[in-house]
Amino acid sequence: MACVLLTILPMNNAVQAQSSFNTSHYELQLEYANRGPQFGDTRTVSVSSPVPSGWVITWKGYSSMTIKYVVGASYGYSLTVSVDSPVPPNWIITWKGYSSMTIEYVGN
Protein backbone atom coordinates (compact mmCIF):
# COMPACT_ATOMS: atom_id res chain seq x y z
CA MET A 1 0.00 0.00 0.00
CA ALA A 2 1.44 3.37 -1.00
CA CYS A 3 1.44 6.31 1.34
CA VAL A 4 0.37 9.65 -0.10
CA LEU A 5 1.98 12.80 1.26
CA LEU A 6 -0.03 15.94 0.67
CA THR A 7 1.17 19.46 1.29
CA ILE A 8 -1.11 22.46 1.48
CA LEU A 9 0.14 25.56 -0.28
CA PRO A 10 -1.70 28.88 0.21
CA MET A 11 -2.08 30.76 -3.07
CA ASN A 12 -4.12 33.97 -3.30
CA ASN A 13 -6.64 32.86 -0.67
CA ALA A 14 -6.91 29.43 -2.33
CA VAL A 15 -5.58 26.14 -1.06
CA GLN A 16 -3.89 23.74 -3.44
CA ALA A 17 -2.95 20.13 -2.68
CA GLN A 18 0.25 18.75 -4.16
CA SER A 19 1.08 15.03 -4.20
CA SER A 20 4.61 13.77 -3.67
CA PHE A 21 3.97 11.10 -6.35
CA ASN A 22 3.64 13.54 -9.25
CA THR A 23 6.46 13.18 -11.73
CA SER A 24 7.35 16.10 -13.95
CA HIS A 25 8.22 15.66 -17.61
CA TYR A 26 11.79 16.69 -16.70
CA GLU A 27 12.02 13.95 -14.04
CA LEU A 28 10.70 11.43 -16.55
CA GLN A 29 13.40 12.46 -19.02
CA LEU A 30 16.06 12.05 -16.30
CA GLU A 31 14.79 8.55 -15.62
CA TYR A 32 15.14 7.77 -19.33
CA ALA A 33 18.77 8.92 -19.18
CA ASN A 34 19.60 7.04 -15.96
CA ARG A 35 18.04 3.59 -16.49
CA GLY A 36 15.34 3.92 -19.08
CA PRO A 37 11.76 2.88 -18.49
CA GLN A 38 10.81 -0.79 -18.36
CA PHE A 39 7.66 -2.33 -19.81
CA GLY A 40 4.75 -1.77 -17.42
CA ASP A 41 6.29 1.18 -15.54
CA THR A 42 3.66 3.72 -14.48
CA ARG A 43 3.96 7.34 -13.42
CA THR A 44 1.53 10.00 -12.26
CA VAL A 45 2.09 13.30 -14.06
CA SER A 46 0.32 16.61 -14.54
CA VAL A 47 -2.35 16.67 -17.26
CA SER A 48 -0.38 19.50 -18.85
CA SER A 49 2.65 17.21 -19.32
CA PRO A 50 3.28 15.87 -22.81
CA VAL A 51 3.03 12.07 -23.11
CA PRO A 52 6.43 10.72 -24.20
CA SER A 53 6.74 8.22 -27.03
CA GLY A 54 6.04 4.66 -25.89
CA TRP A 55 3.74 5.77 -23.04
CA VAL A 56 -0.08 5.67 -22.92
CA ILE A 57 -2.60 7.33 -20.60
CA THR A 58 -4.28 4.70 -18.41
CA TRP A 59 -6.21 7.20 -16.25
CA LYS A 60 -6.88 10.91 -16.57
CA GLY A 61 -8.29 13.15 -13.86
CA TYR A 62 -8.79 16.89 -13.53
CA SER A 63 -5.18 17.77 -12.68
CA SER A 64 -3.17 14.56 -13.04
CA MET A 65 -3.00 11.44 -15.16
CA THR A 66 -1.38 8.03 -14.93
CA ILE A 67 0.81 6.98 -17.83
CA LYS A 68 2.19 3.51 -18.56
CA TYR A 69 5.21 2.46 -20.61
CA VAL A 70 4.20 -0.13 -23.22
CA VAL A 71 7.36 -0.68 -25.28
CA GLY A 72 8.23 -4.37 -25.00
CA ALA A 73 4.65 -5.67 -24.95
CA SER A 74 4.03 -9.18 -26.23
CA TYR A 75 1.96 -9.79 -29.36
CA GLY A 76 -1.75 -9.68 -28.49
CA TYR A 77 -1.28 -7.76 -25.21
CA SER A 78 -4.30 -5.49 -24.69
CA LEU A 79 -4.85 -2.58 -22.38
CA THR A 80 -7.67 -0.16 -21.56
CA VAL A 81 -6.52 3.45 -21.83
CA SER A 82 -8.03 6.93 -21.74
CA VAL A 83 -9.71 8.03 -24.96
CA ASP A 84 -7.22 10.95 -24.88
CA SER A 85 -4.24 8.57 -24.99
CA PRO A 86 -1.89 8.44 -27.93
CA VAL A 87 -1.94 5.08 -29.71
CA PRO A 88 1.68 3.92 -30.20
CA PRO A 89 2.91 2.47 -33.50
CA ASN A 90 1.95 -1.20 -34.02
CA TRP A 91 -1.03 -0.90 -31.63
CA ILE A 92 -4.65 -0.93 -32.82
CA ILE A 93 -7.89 0.24 -31.22
CA THR A 94 -10.15 -2.78 -30.65
CA TRP A 95 -12.92 -0.96 -28.73
CA LYS A 96 -13.74 2.68 -28.09
CA GLY A 97 -16.19 4.14 -25.60
CA TYR A 98 -16.97 7.62 -24.32
CA SER A 99 -14.00 7.98 -21.94
CA SER A 100 -11.83 4.91 -22.59
CA MET A 101 -10.70 2.56 -25.31
CA THR A 102 -8.98 -0.79 -25.55
CA ILE A 103 -5.79 -1.05 -27.57
CA GLU A 104 -3.92 -4.18 -28.64
CA TYR A 105 -0.32 -4.74 -29.66
CA VAL A 106 -0.10 -6.36 -33.09
CA GLY A 107 3.69 -6.46 -33.43
CA ASN A 108 6.08 -5.04 -35.96
Q: Residue 108: which pLDDT band, with cuts at 50, 70 and 90? A: confident
Q: Give residue 34's pLDDT.
A: 73
Between 12 and 59, the more confident residue is: 59
- The percentage of the chain sitting over the pLDDT mark of 70, rounded to a whole number, equals 69
Q: How many CA atoms lie within 13 A of 44 on its CB side?
A: 10
Over residues 17-60, the pLDDT tens digits come to 344 445 666 666 666 667 789 999 999 999 999 999 999 999 99
